[in-house]
Chains A and B, each alone.
Chain A
Amino acid sequence: MTALAPPVRSGPSRAGRTLHAGPLAYAVLVVAVLFSAFPFYWTVVAASRSNADLAKVPPALLPGPHLMRNFEAVLEEADIGRALLNSLLVSGSVTLGTVLCCTLAGFAFAKLRFRGRGALLAVTVGTMMIPPQLGVIPLFMLIAELGWVNQLQSVVLPGLVSAFGVFFMRQYLVQSLPDELIEAARVDGASTARTFWSIVVPIARPGMAVLGLLTFMAAWNDFFWPVVALSSSEPTVQVALRQLGGGYVHDQSVIMAGTLLGTLPVLLVFGLLGRQIVGGIMQGAVKG
């Protein structure tokens, strides 16, 4: 139970892979890594400089001493503190709710028999590819009707809808939950609810963790809908960044400080659990 990845594929293909990377391969990959990482480094440089430093030729390439001052400025001018708190609330509840809803539905699709199973699954998977952005207008009219504009639940509730999550959990459970276990529980007279909590959830936990990670990052970074539904008085981080980029603040270094603050939490998650995220994406790819 310690392995995060479910037994998706035993590795005959990997076992036989003997091609070693040459120096050229390493060189190209190092360049790619630098290309990936440089904008992060640059954010730190720009966020720790004064605005005047950023308007110099040649430009400064090393971090400067003004990081704290710029942080203070952006906390004051763009209310990043509140935005961080809101984003934490929104992403946290979206993650918990999504993982729960998707595990329940994924379990039903994977292991229970009922009428309309195929059709319901088809509807779910069929909408997986349709971008939710196309529904923003009715969604906005709906939350306006409910009086939720500029309130966090307008972002949380639609955020819970994850067809991908249902599909992901279904695939996970199909592969890692043996039918015999469910059957044994049934013979022992356990109710389906009991079966769910004491058999399904423990087995599904690694999959739930991966889904939770992916959901948290997606919720934290979600842009279009929060920009539509919220405003600067109740912002998430992305809404605050949109304000920063919208010309309200002119200091480039302050904008970069805000960007850095807004990105740090996901970078932290990524730094701690990057491996699992990599695994999750590759699993999703194999199954998708």
Chain B
Amino acid sequence: MTLTAPPAPAVPRTVPPAPPGAARRAWRTVSPYAYLAPFFTLFVAFGLFPLLYTAFVSLYRVELQTPGDMEWRGLGNYTALLRDAYFWVSLRNTFTIGVLSTVPQLVMALGLAHLLNHRMRGRTFLRTAVLLPYATSVAAATLVFAQLFGRDFGLINYVLGLVGIDPVDWQNGTVASQIAVSTVVIWRWTGYNTLIYLAGMQSVPVELYEAAAMDGASRWRQFFHVTLPGLRPTILFTVVVSTIGATQLFGEPLLLEGSVSGGISHQYQTLGLYLYEQGWGFFHLGRAAAVAWVMFLLILVLVGLNALIARRRSRKEAGR
């Protein structure tokens, strides 16, 4: 049985299974893209394309009734914006409401997270309970708060009356209405940020606390010298996310009274609401696109600023 053919097995042996093997290998290189295809098809069509195309649309006159007709306007939409006093009002309101809502929200969240980071009974319940507002929609939350903030029969004015404060006009007062809008934001998002901070705090190595305690640092000092520095990336994250959210604010000012102008003198109209008013109140889609693009630039500037400040601070601290 030594009549076997000359030894040339290496090549023939690989040949028979080669067709399926090659196909399989080809499939192996292609199949990753098949896994990505469903997401990326949708992503390009409904995510990426609209974002990029916004810049293009902002250079045209496009009306809501005839969105297919586009007429070149160059920078006309932008100059129209800059000339509109209400654009500036809404830009300013976006800033003030942004500060009024973001700062207390994050400070409170930090405090609550610190408390929740202790050993305690019912921690799961407490965590879930502070997150409860996160489950509600902007619309539902705002409608309830609009009721609570009612000028004549609202519960908040009633309680203020009990301590001798005159009824506040939460709709028409500029500062008051902005506080009302911010309250809804604070209520909905404080719990969410609390959990983010809590997660960050739990990843601070416990040895650092032990070392600090050994050095005789009080709990208070530990919070400032161990917890906060360890939390810096998390804080930056929440500041960025909240800033972006604040730039977008729409549902809260829309539903405080239900009008797109954000109050009779636009006293709490935000950029998000102004965009909606331009597009779906006045039918100027092109101009609304210009507003969107301005908002995008604003976000870029604010996020860049945040990153810059964060980097500076950490460099300062490193140099200390």
A interface list, Cβ under 8 A from B = 9, 11-21, 25-26, 28-29, 32-33, 35-37, 39-40, 42-43, 46, 54-59, 100-102, 104-105, 107-109, 112-114, 117, 120, 123-124, 127, 129-142, 144-145, 157-158, 160-161, 163, 166, 191-193, 196, 217, 220-221, 223-224, 228, 237-238, 241-242, 244-247, 252, 255-256, 259, 262-263, 266-267, 269-270, 274-275, 277-278, 281-283, 285-286, 288
Contact = CB atoms under 8 A, between A and B. Distances in A.
B36 to A, nearest CB: 5
Q: Which of A16, A29, A105 has the most CB of B within 10 A?
A: A29
Contacts of B36: 104-105, 108-109, 120
Contacts, number: 318
Given A16-B210, A221-B136, 5 more contacts: A12-B205, A57-B158, A105-B38, A137-B50, A141-B68
B98 interface: no
A42 B187 CA distance: 14
B31 A242 contact: no
Contacts of A129: 240-241, 244, 303
Given A108-B36, A114-B33, A246-B258, A21 B147 contact: no
Contact of B127 (A40, A105, A112, A278): A278
Given A54-B153, A145-B68, A278 B131 contact: yes
Contacts of B127: 278
A265 to B, nearest CB: 10
B96 interface: no
Nearest to A248: B258
A247 B137 contact: no
A161 B205 contact: no
B132 A28 contact: no
B286 to A, nearest CB: 8
Contacts of B53: 135, 138
A192 B24 CA distance: 10
B118 A256 contact: no
Interface in B112-141: 112, 115-120, 124, 126-141
Nearest to A263: B140
Given A131-B244, A136-B292, A221-B137, A282 B39 contact: no
A288 B206 CA distance: 21
B82 interface: no
A224 B272 contact: yes
B144 A42 contact: yes
B187 to A, nearest CB: 7
B143 A241 contact: yes
B255 A138 contact: no
B258 A137 contact: no
Interface stretch (B7-15, B40-48, B85-93): B40-48
B67 A144 contact: yes
A23 to B, nearest CB: 11
Contacts of B131: 270, 274, 277-278, 281
A247 B143 CA distance: 11
B251 A223 contact: yes
